[in-house]
A = this chain, B = another copy of it.
């Protein structure tokens, strides 16, 4: 296995998986690449190619077993386990993420929250206490954190990032709209609302004479 798989392929697998789980709930037994493509907004060939990079999961003439393919894709994506996540930043975005049901329901558990605001430290969110900034490293170790979500202001992001990485975290989701530097062996994903809005701005400006 493992040529190099593109990020796009992985992201599409995540989409396919959600659709497969919906189909599973609906009780659908098998699905063709054609049907899945329609739901995913992709092409059938794309789906087959994506899947074929990891193996041969379908039956010619029949399509894919929904249950089996879902299990396979979960395995590929590393979702057969639970992930322990640290949330850094308990502001508005942080608190929205903490309560976001689609993360915990999919195996991403926020096991510790850290904030630099003394006003917030010591408060309790559900099962977890908000810990002070200077306990970041300790919290990461004690709670055996696998991934971190950075929901801190842009000017603080790189410094927090460096500490999180030094503490051993190798997967980070960043909400600060600034380019961050990470070592080669650390995975960083950015969620940047400004980019998305500005991309919309560009698109609308192209055609609308307004």
Q: Please give the residue numbers on chain A whose beta carbons come within 8 Å of chain B beta carbons, in ascending order.
A: 2, 7, 10-11, 13-15, 17-19, 39-41, 76-79, 83, 92-93, 95-97, 99-100, 102-103, 106-108, 146-147, 154, 170-173, 177-179, 181, 185, 187, 189, 191-208
Q: A100-B193, A106-B194, A179-B40 are in contact. Are A204 and B170 (CB under 8 A)?
A: yes
Dominant secondary structure of chain A at its interface with chain B: helix
Q: What are 21 of the A-B contact pairs (CB < 8 Å)?
A: A10-B199, A10-B203, A14-B192, A14-B195, A18-B178, A18-B194, A19-B179, A41-B181, A77-B202, A77-B205, A78-B202, A79-B201, A83-B197, A92-B100, A102-B154, A102-B193, A106-B197, A171-B204, A172-B200, A173-B193, A191-B193
How far is it, in angstroms, between the C-alpha of A77 and the C-alpha of B177 when the chains are bound? 17
